Chains A and B, each alone.
Chain A
């Protein structure tokens, strides 16, 4: 019995003695490491045509649906014309006349009153071929200077037929002593100028009429010679009008020249781009009471190459008429639109040159020969404004058009956890425009350190007979980055995406319309072998 007990105890002792814990000797815990592979949808990008081109634009253009829902790039600029007061100024006027006695009296036996009455017509000086019938003065002064070289006192009355004050002809009365003078000054504010008829009442624009009544008091024993006279000088100074009627002539009305910068095209660096139906609308709002003729021959664009392309075509052959309100609707503003398009200009050529700037420089002439003949008027508060609207509908053809878009790459350091990455892009494209993309990773110096070679990422959708695309083109593209590739990309500071864009059937010379409701959907998925550690190393 004892033997068996001892045997079993020895067996147990041996079992205990056989403890082997070597596995746990000197062992320490290392970092937790997870080195799995995740396949995950990163997300979606939905681009409408508008959004896609807004990405390409520098923000100066307005991009949105235009006629028939075709996305249109719109630039708008206002150009200013001269104001009424700058365009038509009232010249300072000076009217001089000397009234002789034309009488000989020696030692008059009695007191005699010598009366002289004369009416004078003066030419109202104007600019160019202006013909002023009437005007309302807003400000200004007239001055009357009278200088008598007669040795007797005299009284005079000036009836200024061409100036109306309070619905009556302006009358100035005064007197002078022997060899005396007279001077007066009066504001012309609220006076009306009637310059439309001569002293006989016959029509005669630019005519200023003054009637003078002059009396000389010759005492008994007094004498007067025929050459004795009284000199009158009538001045209009600094006159400004509120309304003017007549004919403003054909002197130039100036518009400021404007340059529209086209940042939109800066991103394109190669390939061909054609716009099928661009338009430029000049919209004039004319409050002046005379028509204008616009000369567009100085409109031009600076092409990407630096060359200047002048606007040409029938639109530049003659003055284009801007209509004006008639006298019956003097306060109206009449709008006239001049459209520059393929039918009358080379505007397609201009915009297909991917211009960096579009220069709006127009000359104008009132009362053009090819315009309507109408009575002119002008109000100091009225103006003529011009709004230039450039509409470039995306009715385009693109043939390997190269677009570049760059952005900072801020997540490079996160790549150290990735050992292999397969990026898959599922594109569903309703647009008749395909893209072949190349992705360049640049270091802080701007040097390319890694390039994902170009590959078709979204193919162009087919276009149906109605000009709209038929369904959507689906494209799957993949980028596989092995560990060595990822290590290179880790040093990137910027990413440049270089896209070669081509429209559907461009090789047949077709242009396509990009409608607002087209969507390019990019589903980006990633399968990445990653190694995560608790220490982050």
Chain B
């Protein structure tokens, strides 16, 4: 009964104090679900053999600094509109929007006496976007509020990667199972890419008396790959061949470790997606020469046709060119650092720090979770935190055995199901595995909570 009260107390706290994101709920499925190796390679599934059901393991995560109802607001007629004025209200000094979609195409885990081998294939898409408050202010209100001052767009960062990964992993227990080390090596095959140079700097100054624009652009380079398929009709027919096989290949690594400091206290760390994507095929680079240019308007005496004259005149100020030079982009390392305390063999609390390092300044996430294992299923509750501007939330995860099948689902923000427009994040994992040796983990000794 005491344990039940603790659970209830935690759930209550989660509703009022914490927020969720970054597959924390999914992380808490740990050694029950083989796919958790994508976040912690040191996890060793309980089952002797686990095989994923093809195309039935999928996860997506969206996290932003605005709520859905701020992105898709309703106008006076009840129609959805993208209103920058509404978005502007939510803007922080710096704003982060992250999206991930992962489809586990195939995964096989074979447990050994002291570890586990894995084979896996995933398709993944990541979009990380950073933009400053001035950009949103400009998009919402133009530059009239910045007359006599500068709009600094230098905070803007964009990195979009879509790729396949095929890999092999192994986790091994050491020191009488106190230490577990895991590693995965994977061949990554880039599909689509878009990015703005990390060192991009851009400002727009509007002079007070005559509204003259002074624009400063440094490192204005945009790299893309594979986007011709969407914008050039002539390329569309070759998309399938490109997705199946192309030359944008490289290697990357995931590393993880678990160490049991005390019988009931474990520390875990993982570093995933170490490496770069090599883009050599279907690449395009758009470069703008570093420059500070002044735009004084057009020659009104010879204005001719006014259509597009402003745009043409502005663009003519910049020297830009387009090349097709191979480049590389970071996969975007992701770190998990976790401290786990078992209050019973079936109940544990965890504190997890997650960091997406696609860009240096993306803030980390913190999560506090509780996990309980029942006879034939496991549930978890998790709360996480990123920044003060996002809403309170609570997440949950569930894994259950139905015969040889394992079904699992995890949401960092379970409340999103009730009025999802009021939330700024959505994080969901679902999957189905086929397991062999699945009964073993149900027979673990139960620890009496009162004895701890």
Contacts and interface: CB of A to CB of B under 8 A. Distances in A.
Interface in B352-391: 374-375, 379
A43 B417 contact: no
B113 interface: no
Interface in B311-364: none
B242 interface: no
Among A18, A24, A39, A42, which residue has the most Cβ atoms of chain B within 10 A? A39
A426 B300 contact: no
B297 interface: yes
B142 A45 contact: no
Contact of B298 (A35, A42, A476): A42
Contacts of B81: 29-33
A42 B142 contact: no
A267 interface: no
Nearest to B310: A40
B306 A411 contact: yes
A525 B210 contact: yes
A477 to B, nearest CB: 12
Nearest to A425: B210
B198 to A, nearest CB: 28
Contacts of A26: 78
B237 interface: no
B303 A527 contact: no
A28 interface: yes
Interface string A133-169: 0000000000000000000000000000000000000
Contact of A18 (B210, B310, B418): B418
Contact of A5 (B209, B298, B374): B374
Interface in A392-409: none
Contacts of B83: 33
B140 A45 contact: no
Interface residues of B, number: 50
B206 interface: yes
Contact of B210 (A15, A37, A46, A424): A424
A16 interface: yes
A284 B372 CA distance: 118
Contacts of A46: 301
Contact of B297 (A12, A30, A524, A527): A524
Nearest to A35: B85
B167 interface: no
Contact of B141 (A31, A37, A424): A37
A23 B419 contact: yes
B374 A39 contact: no
A395 B140 CA distance: 54
A30 B75 contact: yes
B4 interface: yes
Instruction: Categorize the interface residue count of chain A.
Output: 35 or more
A38 interface: yes
Contacts of B16: none
Interface in A1-28: 1, 4-5, 7-8, 12, 15-16, 18-24, 26-28
Contacts of B374: 1, 5
B421 interface: yes
A31 B297 CA distance: 30
Contacts of B85: 35
A43 B147 contact: no
A506 B29 CA distance: 92
Contacts of B147: 39, 527
B91 interface: no
A44 B299 contact: yes
Interface of A: 1, 4-5, 7-8, 12, 15-16, 18-24, 26-46, 411, 424, 426, 476, 523-527, 529
Interface of B: 4, 69, 74-75, 77-85, 138-145, 147, 206, 209-213, 295-301, 303, 306, 310, 374-375, 379, 396, 398, 414-415, 417-421
Given A30-B77, A523-B296, 18 more contacts: A5-B374, A12-B379, A16-B417, A18-B417, A23-B421, A27-B80, A30-B75, A30-B80, A32-B81, A36-B139, A36-B140, A38-B144, A43-B303, A44-B296, A44-B299, A45-B301, A411-B306, A524-B300
